[in-house]
Chains A and B, each alone.
Chain A
Amino acid sequence: MIDLALPPGLVLILGAFLIPQSRGKHRTALVLGLPVLALALVWLVSGNGGAGIPFMGLELDPVHATAAGRLFATVFAIMAFAGGLYALRQASILELVAAYVYAGSAIGVTFAGDLVTLFIYWELMAIGSTLVIFAAGTDAAGRAAFRYALIHLLGGVLLMAGIVAHGVDTGDLSVQALEPDSLGTVLMLIGILVNAGAPPLSAWIADAYPEASPSGTVFLSAFTTKTAVFALLVMFPGTEILIWIGLYMVFYGIIYALLENDMRRILAYSIVNQVGFMVCAIGIGTELALNGAAAHAFAHIIYKALLLMSAGGVLMMTARRKCTDLGGLFQTMPLTAINGIIGALAISAFPFTSGFVTKSLETSAAANEGLLVVWLLLLAASAGVFLHAGIKFPWFVFFQKDSGLRPAEPPKNMLRAMWLFSFLCIAIGLFPQPLYALLPYPVDYQPYTVGHLVSQFQLLLFSGFAFFVLLGLMKRTLTISLDFDWFYRRFFHGLALDVSDRTSQTRADLEQRGRARIGRLIDNLYAHHGPHGILARTWPTGSMVFWVAVMLGCSLLLYFL
């Protein structure tokens, strides 16, 4: 153990700025080496509180290692490595640097021992991720990045306000389990939920992520929502409302993904669905459930990135992203298809994949707590995952009709990143024990029982059967689906236009009225004082004398009275 508390996240953040300075082999070494270094530090730093760093009268604790934190930091570092490998030759420098700052900040959050450190990394993450979207360089990406930044600034403000209120209330800013029973803690909870993609602001994920570059979306899928899961796990375990918020997210993701035509938006909606499972488990709050949420997050980052790598490969080679334009690609992109299918099987929790050994912890936790409705809904949702992501994505992209497209496989580095994650999906599925050993609580769970295998196969295969029977109802259309973002993209936009129309009209009216009034005043003045005005005439001397005599007479009269 190194006693020197070198923050693992900071290494990645600072190292990112060396990337633009390097060329060729050195850059490759840097991009692949930094995450490895960060991963090593995650496990080497002792980080048991120790000496705090004084900052504006507060004691900061930026390197605070916990089991949950190390677990999330580990998968973040692995993700940065595979994402870096995937992005290495194709991504812009801006995207690479932003993505590494983003990944480093996510690791920083997992090591934060106090809320101020957490907040600083939280906001760095927002900046990094906005730049990753922006780095795609298209107009649509620029606008999406702006909307994304607005939502995350809102979330950040809520979180900050909550931290301040909580600090004033209790005087304790350490990261620990809290009850949402005061203004400060409720604001913090809402701020974190914004990043998790909770209702009503779930739309930002499907709005922003698919506008990034192929590699940008891979990075984006991993960090923001999962640091939110981490924060909820550590700070709000067992908060009952999270069960229902999570269930809403689960079905929201399924329904919207079923309606969606853009392949990467399907996968973006499915992020909300998957995070919903984790949020629900955190709401259940038992050791088994929290282990489930942590393990599911670990597995999810890997298979969701794998799915988006496969989709990104297709996007890069065909320049098409709509299911209506794709199909039949398995013929010339078999490797991309196989990797996509492995990711799809893992997200569906097919036996012998990482999803099977992690998601079942969560459903078991619901069953063990006697939450019948929650268990039945999670079960239906597990079937729905196979429906909307497990079959829908590979089917419409690689099979369905033959689109006539004959693209080549994507470049080698992208395929290597996919193979690495495919390997992890299956390795974790076959040998879950090493992952179980990393979980925050001791695990006494055996995923591979005959009953569990049989029931899972039945559930998935028959939901697949439903997919093919009802294929006619799922014909892709050239549409998007309205969501809460309608309020800020259309309603408020329209409202603002209307307000600006009306205010400018009112201003014009007022101005016209004012001008008319001034005009009349000037006319009046002109009439009385102008060259021909009654007050501007030259008066005869006789009348002057007469009026002076009248005035003197008046003053004389007044004097005597």
Chain B
Amino acid sequence: MSEKRHWLYRKENLPKLWALQILILALALAPEFFIQHHAHVAGSDFRLDTGFGFFAWYGFVTCALMVVGAKLLGIFLKREDTYYDD
């Protein structure tokens, strides 16, 4: 291909993109220092959701679990995409 690769696809920009993402994540966590979370679930002793960055780590951990879970299930469930073509 003679045309110049789009800047998103150039190797040298990859660290910049990661830095940008880390910056956005830091910004999302910043309000934690200023606001006080209240407990969400009525009538329960669950207080983890009032802790620092609960939604951040909970989102990350559950997503990682889902990806790994899907990967494991994939071992049993995945078939060639021509499986049903007779």
> A383 vs B66: C-alpha distance in the bound complex, in angstroms?
10
Q: Taking A465-B25, A482-B79 as contacts, is the C-beta distance between A455 and B64 under 8 angstroms?
A: no
B1 partner residues in chain A, CB cutoff 8 A: 404
Q: Taking A370-B43, A383-B63, A387-B67 as contacts, is the C-beta distance between A462 and B25 under 8 angstroms?
A: yes
Q: Does A526 contact B (CB under 8 A)?
A: no
Cβ-closest chain A residue relative to B62: A380
B residues contacting the other copy or chain, number (CB 8 A): 48
Considering only residues 50-86 of chain B, those with a C-beta below 8 Å from chain A are 53-60, 62-64, 66-71, 73-74, 76-81, 83-84
Q: Taking A328-B9, A458-B29, A460-B59 as contacts, is the C-beta distance between A470 and B83 under 8 angstroms?
A: no
- Secondary structure dominating the interface of A: helix
Q: Does B31 contact A (CB under 8 A)?
A: yes
- Secondary structure dominating the interface of B: helix
Complex contact B41–A372 (CB within 8 A): yes
Q: Does B44 contact A (CB under 8 A)?
A: yes
Considering only residues 429-481 of chain A, those with a C-beta below 8 Å from chain B are 450-451, 454-463, 465-470, 473-474, 477-481
A478 partner residues in chain B, CB cutoff 8 A: 80-81
Q: Of A451, A462, A482, which contacts B59 at CB under 8 A? A: A462
Complex contact B77–A482 (CB within 8 A): yes
Q: Taking A259-B78, A480-B79 as contacts, is the C-beta distance between A368 and B5 under 8 angstroms?
A: no
Q: Does B38 contact A (CB under 8 A)?
A: yes
> A339 vs B46: C-alpha distance in the bound complex, in angstroms?
39
B69 partner residues in chain A, CB cutoff 8 A: 255
Interface centre among A255, A328, A469 (most CB of B within 10 A): A255
A residues contacting the other copy or chain, number (CB 8 A): 56
Complex contact B58–A459 (CB within 8 A): yes
Q: Of A251, A259, A371, A402, which contacts B77 at CB under 8 A? A: A259
Q: Taking A461-B28, A481-B78 as contacts, is the C-beta distance between A387 and B83 under 8 angstroms?
A: no
A402 partner residues in chain B, CB cutoff 8 A: 5-6, 9
Q: Of A255, A380, A480, which contacts B70 at CB under 8 A? A: A255
Cβ-closest chain B residue relative to A450: B35
> A489 vs B83: C-alpha distance in the bound complex, in angstroms?
10
Complex contact B59–A463 (CB within 8 A): yes
Q: Does A367 contact B (CB under 8 A)?
A: yes
Complex contact B58–A468 (CB within 8 A): no
Complex contact B55–A455 (CB within 8 A): yes
Complex contact A461–B25 (CB within 8 A): yes
A369 partner residues in chain B, CB cutoff 8 A: 42
Q: Does A254 contact B (CB under 8 A)?
A: yes
Closest CB in chain B relative to A11 CB, distance in Å: 40
Closest CB in chain A relative to B39 CB, distance in Å: 9
Considering only residues 6-43 of chain B, those with a C-beta below 8 Å from chain A are 6, 8-9, 21, 24-25, 28-29, 31-32, 35, 37-38, 40-43
Complex contact B41–A473 (CB within 8 A): no
Q: Does A399 contact B (CB under 8 A)?
A: yes
Q: Of B35, B55, B68, which contacts A456 at CB under 8 A? A: B55
A454 partner residues in chain B, CB cutoff 8 A: 28, 31-32, 35, 55
Closest CB in chain B relative to A327 CB, distance in Å: 10
Closest CB in chain A relative to B76 CB, distance in Å: 8
Q: Taking A375-B41, A384-B62, A455-B55 as contacts, is the C-beta distance between A258 and B6 under 8 angstroms?
A: no
> A74 vs B63: C-alpha distance in the bound complex, in angstroms?
35
> A450 vs B73: C-alpha distance in the bound complex, in angstroms?
38
Closest CB in chain B relative to A229 CB, distance in Å: 24
Q: Taking A383-B63, A404-B1, A467-B63 as contacts, is the C-beta distance between A458 and B83 under 8 angstroms?
A: no
Complex contact A367–B6 (CB within 8 A): no
Q: Taking A383-B62, A384-B62 as contacts, is the C-beta distance between A370 and B44 under 8 angstroms?
A: yes
Closest CB in chain A relative to B68 CB, distance in Å: 7
Q: Taking A479-B80, A480-B79 as contacts, is the C-beta distance between A458 and B55 under 8 angstroms?
A: yes
A259 partner residues in chain B, CB cutoff 8 A: 70, 73-74, 77-78
Closest CB in chain B relative to A349 CB, distance in Å: 12
B24 partner residues in chain A, CB cutoff 8 A: 461
> A474 vs B35: C-alpha distance in the bound complex, in angstroms?
36
Q: Does A261 contact B (CB under 8 A)?
A: yes
Complex contact B60–A465 (CB within 8 A): yes
Complex contact B66–A255 (CB within 8 A): yes
Per-residue CB proximity of A406-425 to B under 8 Å, as 1/0?
A: 00000000000000000000
B80 partner residues in chain A, CB cutoff 8 A: 478-480
Closest CB in chain A relative to B84 CB, distance in Å: 6
A457 partner residues in chain B, CB cutoff 8 A: 28
Closest CB in chain A relative to B74 CB, distance in Å: 5
Complex contact B21–A459 (CB within 8 A): no
Q: Of B66, B71, B78, which contacts A479 at CB under 8 A? A: B78
> A380 vs B57: C-alpha distance in the bound complex, in angstroms?
11
Q: Taking A367-B42, A383-B59 as contacts, is the C-beta distance between A480 and B73 under 8 angstroms?
A: no
Complex contact A451–B46 (CB within 8 A): no
Return 14 A-B CB contacts under 8 Å, by A number. Answer: A328-B9, A369-B42, A370-B41, A371-B41, A379-B58, A450-B31, A450-B35, A454-B31, A457-B28, A462-B57, A479-B79, A481-B77, A481-B79, A490-B84
List residues of chain A with CB under 8 Å of any chain B CB: 251, 254-255, 258-259, 261-262, 322, 328, 331, 367-372, 375, 379-380, 383-384, 386-387, 399, 401-402, 404, 450-451, 454-463, 465-470, 473-474, 477-483, 489-490
Question: Which 6 A-B residue pairings sit nearest by Cβ, starting from the closest?
Answer: A466-B63, A380-B62, A258-B70, A370-B43, A458-B55, A459-B59
Question: 12 additional contacts, CB 8 Å, given A255-B69, A454-B31?
Answer: A251-B66, A255-B66, A255-B73, A259-B73, A328-B6, A369-B42, A402-B6, A450-B35, A460-B59, A473-B67, A473-B68, A480-B83
